[in-house]
């Protein structure tokens, strides 16, 4: 009798389904379709009379195709046959499409998708023994009961009926067999009870062919019973897209949790209806298959071989993906998406995101990208927040431009550069203690906030309003939309001289403008802010002197090309006040004119080197003595 694989019991044999191999060039007198390993899978077996089994085709076949079945035993792990048992064949007189299911009864009617079989069945496998046997599916010349070799034939599939597994030692007989060494080794072990019959009970619509193959190979998708019933003959309809939901514990339908994401462990994923269980099947470009993480959040470790998906969806708060590489593939309808569904939810991805199709952030929630990602094709943030880094030294966007219509945050503790080119209506925030250089041309018009560490402008963000928060700093050379420095914030002060251009400047009380003064050339030897709008001053002025000034040197630290007057003064520095920097006195003017190179008549802020008071007195006494000598 037939019995599904590895039903354990004292009197019940076990059944093993195994993908098989190409033993040689196929020989056939028919004009038929040549099949290969993986083109056929068994989907059900009954061992109670009448014995029957079903199989599905994963390749279109043409009229004239012959598929054969034999219950011969292999006498060794190579190619030898015992040569004492029978052969049965199906000859199809009309073509069939992939997904078709065929039910074969040893002594009954053959059905195709539940309908009439068009063709011929010859021979019988009625000699199958309940105490052990095996059946192989193949193409090529028929194997007779005196044949001793599979040479010149193509094995397609095999299943073993025995109280033990395939032989690894000993002598084969009519009830036991070796497994040929060339067989792939993929097997289905139905060992959950003392049952005579098993039938695939998973879905037959809405999944890709690859997902069906994985589901059919999984014991969790079979109904097992001691009561015989006709095997299902409904065909399989492939879909171009499928969502597979994570289940760390297996066959608990989307409960989530902590585990390893690989492409081999059974029942780690289920279909969207949580009715069919399978291992992860890597997506291919254009099929739209994505991984969904729901249930109880956990830490999901990607296996060393990595995985491929057309998208990631996080339906609950708190998941972390870590280790190795997740390759993002074209979804078939656009850029692969990372979707954190709900506002306030956060998903962390510490695995490297790779691929050439870019990455799109969707959903109202937030995602943290903690790895140095290698994907290319650009980044789009439709909604929610993308945070680069977790406060450490890693985390990056992939290659290509960034369209930010949500929120983009950089949170690292070391020095790094962002040169993607950012556009969109979204905001940009710098957190973390590190130094971020914003390079390239950026035309996003959302606000920029420096909350911690330092941001160095190395390019432009001319449409963005910048705010520097308490304990943070902004410096560099480039163009920004406007500048507000809050109490505790600093602009400048990194020992790298630059010329920062902005529309307006608002240095609030408690803020600091920190200058490096190393010569008289603006932007290259001393720090300068060029302004096209209003200037409001209430913060402190701090400076570091790196050259020996000549009396009268003028340094235009705020050059305003507009007509607006300067409002306010630096803390403790009224107009024309004199203060000392590194042993050198400077006078400050809020009405200087950088065009005319004067300390009056304009709306610029300038410093002018002046002699110290003692030097001025001594100089005056010397001049008086000289005049007296001349009079004498």
pLDDT number for residue 181:
67
Residue with the bigger pLDDT between 278 and 389: it is 389
Asked whether 158 and 70 are in contact (CB, 8 A), the reply is no
DSSP 536: E
- pLDDT, tens digit (0-9, with 9 covering 90-100), for 56-111: 999 999 999 999 988 777 777 676 676 666 678 899 999 999 999 998 887 667 88
HSE-up of residue 391 (Cα within 13 Å, Cβ side): 2
Average pLDDT (606-617) is 76
Lowest mean pLDDT segment, chosen from 18-22, 371-375, 376-380, 390-394:
18-22
HSE-up of residue 205 (Cα within 13 Å, Cβ side): 1
Distance of CA 298 to the CA centre of its chain: 17
* CA proximity to 263, closest of 231, 309, 204, 221: 309
- pLDDT, tens digit (0-9, with 9 covering 90-100), for 191-224: 444 566 788 888 898 888 888 888 888 878 888 7
DSSP 179: P
Asked whether 252 and 281 are in contact (CB, 8 A), the reply is no
Q: Is the pLDDT assigned to residue 298 strictly greater than 70?
A: yes
Maximum distance among all alpha carbons in the chain? 145
Distance CA 488, CA 483 (A): 15
Asked whether 211 and 278 are in contact (CB, 8 A), the reply is yes
Residue with the bigger pLDDT between 121 and 364: it is 364
**Percentage above 90 pLDDT, the chain:** 55
Cis peptide before 50 (omega within 30 of 0): yes
**Helices in 438-491 by DSSP H: which ranges?**
none
Burial class (CB in 10 A: 0-12, 13-18, 19+), 256: buried
Asked whether 450 and 409 are in contact (CB, 8 A), the reply is no
* Separate counts of helices (H) and strands (E) for the chain: 2, 55
Residue 94 forms beta bridges with which residues?
A: none
- pLDDT, tens digit (0-9, with 9 covering 90-100), for 123-172: 776 554 545 567 788 899 888 766 667 788 888 887 765 555 667 787 77
User: pLDDT category, 617, cuts 50, 70, 90?
Assistant: very low
Rounded to 5 degrees, what angle do the CA atoms 203, 103, 148 make? Answer: 120
State which H helix or E strand residue 41 sits in: strand 40-46
Contacting residues for 630 by C-beta, under 8 A, at least 6 apart = none
Q: What secondary structure does DSSP assign to 389-415, as a single string?
A: -SSSS--B--SS-EEESSEEEEE-SS-
Per DSSP, which regions of 192-257 are E strands? 197-200, 205-207, 222-225, 237-238, 243-246
pLDDT number for residue 198:
81
Contacting residues for 614 by C-beta, under 8 A, at least 6 apart = none
State which H helix or E strand residue 216 sits in: helix 209-216
Distance CA 198, CA 56 (A): 15
10 Å Cβ neighbour count for 184? 11
| Alpha-carbon distances of 32 from 45, 98, 103, 560, rounded to whole Å | 26, 15, 20, 84
User: pLDDT category, 471, cuts 50, 70, 90?
Assistant: very high
HSE-up of residue 339 (Cα within 13 Å, Cβ side): 17
Instruction: Measure the CA dihedral 588/593/599/601, to 10°.
Output: -110
* Rg, Å, the chain Cα set: 39
The ranges assigned to domains in the chain are 14-225, 241-400, 415-632
Mean pLDDT, all residues of the chain:
85
Distance CA 608, CA 585 (A): 8
**Helices in 434-573 by DSSP H: which ranges?**
none
Asked whether 28 and 68 are in contact (CB, 8 A), the reply is no
């Amino acid at each position: 009798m037939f019995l599904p694989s590895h039903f354990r019991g004292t009197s019940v044999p076990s059944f093993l389904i195994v993908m098989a191999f190409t033993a040689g060039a196929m020989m056939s007198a028919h004009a038929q379709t040549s099949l290969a390993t993986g083109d056929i899978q068994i989907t059900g077996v009954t061992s109670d009379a009448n014995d029957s089994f079903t199989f599905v085709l994963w390749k279109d076949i043409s009229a004239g195709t012959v598929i054969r079945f034999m219950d011969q035993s292999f006498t060794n792990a190579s190619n030898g046959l015992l040569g004492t048992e029978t052969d049965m064949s199906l000859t199809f007189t009309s073509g069939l499409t992939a997904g078709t299911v065929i039910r074969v009864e040893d002594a009954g009617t053959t059905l195709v998708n539940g309908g009439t079989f068009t063709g011929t069945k010859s021979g019988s496998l009625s000699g199958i023994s309940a105490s052990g046997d095996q059946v192989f599916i193949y193409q090529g010349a028929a194997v007779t009961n005196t044949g001793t070799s599979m040479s010149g034939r193509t094995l397609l599939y095999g299943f073993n009926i025995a109280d033990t597994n395939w032989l690894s030692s000993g002598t084969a007989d009519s009830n036991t067999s070796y497994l040929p060494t060339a067989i792939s080794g993929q097997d289905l072990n139905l060992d959950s009870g003392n049952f005579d019959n098993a039938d695939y009970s998973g879905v037959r619509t809405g999944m890709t062919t690859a997902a069906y193959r994985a589901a059919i190979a999984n014991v969790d998708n079979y109904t097992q019973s001691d009561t015989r019933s006709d095997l299902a003959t409904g065909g399989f309809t492939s879909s171009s897209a499928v969502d597979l939901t994570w289940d760390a514990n297996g066959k608990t339908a989307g409960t989530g949790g902590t585990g390893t994401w690989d492409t081999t462990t059974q029942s780690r994923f289920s279909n969207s209806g949580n009715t069919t269980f399978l291992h992860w099947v890597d997506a291919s470009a254009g099929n739209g298959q994505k991984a969904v993480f729901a249930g109880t959040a956990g830490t999901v470790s990607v296996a060393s071989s990595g995985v491929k998906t057309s998208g990631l969806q996080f339906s609950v708060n708190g998941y972390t993906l870590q280790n190795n590489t997740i390759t993002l593939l074209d979804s078939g309808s656009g850029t692969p998406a990372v979707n954190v569904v709900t506002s306030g939810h956060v998903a962390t991805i510490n695995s490297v995101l790779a691929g050439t199709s870019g990455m799109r952030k969707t959903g109202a929630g937030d995602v943290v990208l903690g790895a140095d990602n290698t994907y290319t094709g650009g980044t789009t943030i439709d909604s929610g927040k993308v945070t680069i880094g977790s406060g450490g030294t890693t985390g990056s966007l992939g290659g290509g431009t960034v369209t930010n219509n949500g929120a983009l945050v950089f949170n690292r503790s070391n020095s790094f550069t962002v040169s993607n080119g950012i556009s969109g209506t979204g905001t940009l925030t710098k957190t973390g203690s590190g130094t971020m250089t914003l390079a390239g041309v950026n035309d996003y018009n959302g606000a920029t906030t420096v909350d911690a560490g330092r941001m160095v402008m190395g390019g432009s963000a001319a449409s963005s309003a910048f705010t520097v928060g308490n304990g943070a700093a902004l410096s560099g050379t480039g163009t920004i939309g406007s500048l507000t420095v809050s109490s505790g914030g600093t602009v400048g002060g990194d020992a790298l001289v630059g010329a920062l251009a902005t529309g307006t400047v608002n240095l609030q009380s408690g803020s600091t403008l920190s200058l490096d003064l190393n010569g008289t050339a603006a932007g290259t030897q001393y720090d300068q802010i060029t302004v096209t709008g209003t200037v409001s001053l209430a913060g402190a002025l701090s400076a570091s002197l790196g050259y020996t000034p000549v009396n009268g040197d003028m340094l235009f630290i705020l050059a305003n090309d507009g007509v607006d007057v300067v409002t306010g003064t630096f803390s403790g520095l009224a107009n024309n006040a004199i203060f000392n920097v590194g042993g050198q006195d400077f006078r400050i003017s809020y009405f200087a004119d950088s065009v005319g190179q004067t300390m009056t008549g304009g709306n610029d802020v300038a410093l002018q080197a002046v002699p110290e008071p003692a030097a001025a007195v001594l100089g005056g006494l010397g001049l008086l003595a000289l005049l007296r000598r001349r009079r004498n």
